[in-house]
Amino acid sequence: MSEKKLDELLFKSIEEIGQLYRNKEVSPYEITKATIERLNTLEPKLNAFITVLSEEALSQAKKAEDAFLKNKEVGKLYGIPVSLKDIFDTKGIRTSLGSRIMRDYVPNKNSHVYDAFLKAGAIVVGKNNMLEFAYGSVHPDYGQCNNPWDINHTAGGSSSGSASSVAAGIGFASIGTDTGGSIRVPSSFCGIVGLKPTYNAVPREGVFPLSNSLDHVGPMTRTVRDNVIVLEHITSKKFNYESIFSNTLNGVRVGVVRSLTDSIHHTEVKQLIDKAILRIKDLGADVIDVSIPGIEIIERAAMPILLAEATSYHTKWEDRTSDYAEGTYKNLKEGYNVSALSYLESLQIKNSFTASIYEAFNQVDILLCPTVPYPATEKDPSFKDGDIDISQRTIPFNMSGNPALSISAGNTSENMPVGLQIVGKHHDEGVVYQVANAFQVATGGYNKPKL
């Protein structure tokens, strides 16, 4: 098969590739080899990986190829190239967390997510670049991960390489973590589908914590359907595909969070979000405006929780301050300044806010708002520069624990993606997926970058 044809296949869906495997039209070895070749070609531009597992991946691909040749019954992820953020423990393979401190750390056991991939027969081609300790700053030892839509712009963070690689056709899925938007922000910047599921829906065993109260784990893919498949493999959830992929939204009640939508200052982002809302209405949804008291300022209560909990995991490295990126260390120092009273008050506000979100869902099935108020910037926005606007629309749903998904609402005139955020009730990822899939199908599917 020609190199061009193989490159085209790398942007197919998981199910399409699986069917080609079963028809013996292409083999897992060919797809994995093409994925690694694409990785090697694009990596100097993207810087999306910390560790590449070429040898291991090709060895697994050979075994997968043999299984398909023998017509063995296997699942949907079998033989599918994937990656994962370098925050998940992988036995015998280093887990750096994008940090100097953990640069040579090699775990002696696997995270839940990596075990789930191995059990499914997915082929992990590498571990993705990320912001240091998932905490808002890139470490200079690793460098910024770049955006495949424009390599002079950031991929976002902290699940940077996960978003960049999936958008660029290097693997069919990745797994990220999200404490204030770290799956959804890079998904918005790179134009892919990123889900932060309900809090604790995906076990966090073997994930270095940032903030236990706010941390989530979730899948990042190019299509909604692929996202469903991956989530099913890393959780015990099973979905009704017929209802999710009906491509109609008749009877679905959608609430637009106006305070997070009308406050967008970027003209093109606002236009694309407004157009997306109209498209969802055209698909049959009942669309109303929703007001949630305090949602636009809830990040003020989130920060004491995030700062205090993050710092608590780093006290053992108090003598290694120079090994942190400047922004990371500044955040860690701030954590020491959070009083117990402030922390406990913030937890109480978190509970009250979660109740307010619950109330809003008495009126609607889904909430909508932009993911990020602007397209990808040239450099990673940083908390140390006082830029928390980037998470103003994402962190509320870390506080409440609701499932929240980012999907591309379209591209600006400079061809940079803009994310639409779709939020559901606790444990109701199915309706989130239904809305996202109907919208993605209606808008032409995944729009890939020209790298």
How far is it, in rounded angstroms, from Cα 178 to Cα 304?
17
State pTM to two decimals.
0.98
For the chain, the distance separating the N- and C-terminal CA atoms, rounded to the nearest angstrom, is 21
Pairing of strands 417-424, 216-221: unpaired
Q: Which of 159, 182, 211, 408 is catalytic?
A: 182
Q: At what angle do helices 299-312 and 340-360 cross, to 10 degrees?
A: 130
Cβ atoms of residues 314 and 101 within 8 Å: no
Residue range 365-378: mean pLDDT, rounded:
97
Phi-psi region of 153 (alpha: psi -120 to 50; beta: other; left: phi over 0): beta
Instruction: Tell me the average pLDDT of the chain.
Output: 97
404-419: pLDDT as tens digits: 999 999 999 999 999 9
Question: Nearest Cα to 335, choosing from 178, 86, 133, 138?
Answer: 133
Model pLDDT, residue 41 = 98
Model pLDDT, residue 386 = 47
> What stretches of 70-183 show up as alpha helix (H) in DSSP?
112-120, 160-167
Q: What percent of the chain has pLDDT over 70?
A: 98
**Least confident span in 165-179, 211-225, 380-394, 412-426:** 380-394
Cβ atoms of residues 134 and 214 within 8 Å: no
Enumerate the β-bridge partners of residue 253: 286
Instruction: Render 8-25 in DSSP notation, one character per residue.
Output: HHTTS-HHHHHHHHHTTS
Residue range 123-138: mean pLDDT, rounded:
97
Q: How confident is the model at residue 389 (pLDDT cuts 50, 70, 90)?
A: confident
Q: What share of the chain is helix, strand, coil (3-state, %, to 5)?
A: 45, 15, 40
Q: Which of 85, 196, 350, 425 is catalytic?
A: 85
How far is it, in rounded angstroms, from Cα 370 to Cα 423?
11
Model pLDDT, residue 387 = 52
Q: Which of 137, 158, 165, 187 is catalytic?
A: 158
> Could you tell me how many helices (H) and strands (E) the chain has, helices first?
16, 13
Cβ atoms of residues 132 and 383 within 8 Å: no
Cβ-based neighbours of 113, under 8 Å, separated by 6 or more = 84, 88, 175, 202, 203, 206, 207, 217, 234
Is 182 annotated as catalytic? yes
Cβ-based neighbours of 406, under 8 Å, separated by 6 or more = 183, 184, 185, 187, 188, 193, 194, 371, 419, 420, 421, 422
Q: Does the 3-442 domain belong in CATH 3.90.1300.10?
A: yes
Residue 91 pLDDT greater than 90, yes or no: yes
Is 406 annotated as catalytic? no
139-152: pLDDT as tens digits: 999 999 999 999 99
394-406: pLDDT as tens digits: 999 999 999 999 9
The overall longest dimension of the chain from CA atoms, in Å, is 64
252-262: pLDDT as tens digits: 999 999 999 99
Is 137 annotated as catalytic? no
CA–centroid distance for 42 within its chain? 20
